[in-house]
Structure 1
């Protein structure tokens, strides 16, 4: 084969390998999740989300991938985090809060790093920092909760602000915490395979809320799981929860009732922060309406 023709064929093959959103970046923040596809069912990330404004992050800690997050640079908050549920074998760690160096410097270390005091100005400009949450009246709400991770290192890795959204305490320590525990019990009792979980946030439709004028506050948080192999003898009451199920939680007690109704029977501290459980299809319909994105969370609906 002539050398020129061979060069053309090699160039064409190389172009076919490039990610669809543009040229690859070095390190763990890039234009796709190619380095951490194991955290998605059938190694397929959610579909229907364009590249504009979003930064895929393969969350790396102590030289190992721990989970994946899709981060919105302008909102300084993740749209979602994806992980494989693995029940904790220890207590919540006393971990240092961390940041993603590569959001600030494209050629920085691929490892998440603890914040320094005072915080680096390049880090401040590129992502949420600890000062954003100080005196904000919001807690640091994990999308990938430490209780859903087995090892100490996996649990520590969840303490990065690229996995965090501003969440009201009434939600974080109330109905949303109970949902996380319910998903854990469901996994232990009935799931015979890996359980793939994606948890995310829905910003306000209008009148965007931000803490410190920087970090987007979600009106709702949501979560969905996929368990492709489960018990053959599921109780009738449990069958609707397999192979997929989902939920949406209120993060604003003054929001309307159209997505999550208010439960007036709950105690005052958590009233208005209820959680509505629903099918995967219902959740995807809500996300399509609120985010103007036709999102498919799991490959072929986890079938």
Structure 2
């Protein structure tokens, strides 16, 4: 009987791997595998509608955990290398994500109007310029948070530019960005929510970037000397434009969020990398 079960499972997984509609094969019956979560699923998000504040959404361009009650992603994860960069122009087509469950409120493009907060990307538009479709995917509102304008346009823009500069120089990166807490300070002052209370303004915004030379078999190439940049900023308009001063450890971000980052790495490597605070160059 055991052999028969193994044969059935083998056939099922083989069929899944060949499916044209999958982003990638499945490692369980519930959670799709994607290059964008190669380092792990930080919150163990699932695609069950009942998991409404930790709802897994797998897109060809990135993977995220969405909170229905907050109206924002908990985290967004993506892989960045030269394959994802091209000449597609910025689309600026902010729009509701129609792939959310039909009975959920879908944040619209105008939800942030007059709020004093930017429609802040988690995965940046400029990280997905291979095709128009790829770039357009970053403007879905499930990838967006209320972000203080100076935080978005200066601090995080500088870190995003720096990451792409590394890729241009022959590196690749695995990136996870998220937010937590309630209450930020935008150009119109402090707020806990916008859009008539349907979108929560986060207190902090964080990012973890794992950087390695471009190559194959990435997970096996990550070791205790791999550079990991962890940044955690307050979501305020008076934030410093130098992201380097907000560097912290992955351990500290995990403690603040309750997530398990870099969980796909061997324990020894994970523990070593998560305890460090990056001191490398910032430009």
TM over 0.5: yes
Q: Once the two structures are superposed, what CA deviation does each residue of 1:6-65 show, in whole Å capped at 9, x if it has no partner?
A: 99x69x97xxx9xxxxxxxxx99xx997335221225x3225669562110012xxxxx1
Question: How many Å apart are 1:284 and its aligned residue?
Answer: 3.2
8 Å Cα contact 1:176/1:249 also seen in 2: no
Q: CA RMSD in A?
A: 3.9
| Counterpart in the other structure of 2:250 | 283
Partner of 1:56: 56
CA distances 1:93-144 after superposition (whole Å, capped 9, x unpaired):
2342233223232xxxxxxxxxxxxxxxx5xx42322232121111110000
TM-score (norm 1): 0.63
Distance of aligned partners of 1:55 and 1:208 in 2 relative to their CA distance in 1, 3 Å threshold: farther
SS, match of residue 57 in structure 2: strand
Structure-2 change in CA distance of 1:208 and 1:73 (3 Å) = farther
The CA deviation at 1:277 is: 4.6
Q: Give the secondary structure class of the aligned counterpart of 1:159.
A: coil
Over 3 Å counting, the alpha-carbon distance change for 1:271 and 1:39 in structure 2 is: closer
Aligned to 1:216: 200
The question of 1:134 aligning with 2:113 is answered yes
Q: Is there any run of 5+ residues in structure 2 with no aligned partner, and where?
A: 14-21, 185-189, 216-223, 274-283
Residues 210 and 229 in structure 2, CA contact (< 8 A), matched pair in contact too: yes
1:37 is aligned to 34
Task: Work out which of the residue numbers 88, 91, 94 in structure 1 matches 2:91.
Answer: 94
Deviations 1:47-93 (A, max 9, x none): 5669562110012xxxxx12111101110100111111145322642
3-state SS of paired residue (2:99): helix
Task: Say how many residue pairs are matched.
Answer: 232
Distance (whole Å) between structure 1 residues aligned to residue 138 and residue 247 of structure 2: 26
Q: Quote how far apart the aligned CAs of 1:172 are.
A: 1.0
Tell me if 1:164 matches 2:141: no
Distance 1:85 1:132, change over 3 A: same
Mapping for residues 74-93 of structure 1, pairs under 5 Å: 74-86=69-81, 88-90=85-87, 92-93=89-90
Structure 1 Cα separation of the partners of residues 159 and 200 of structure 2: 23
Distance in 1 of aligned mates of 2:33 and 2:140: 17
Q: CA deviation at 1:209?
A: 1.1
* 2:173 maps to 1:195: yes
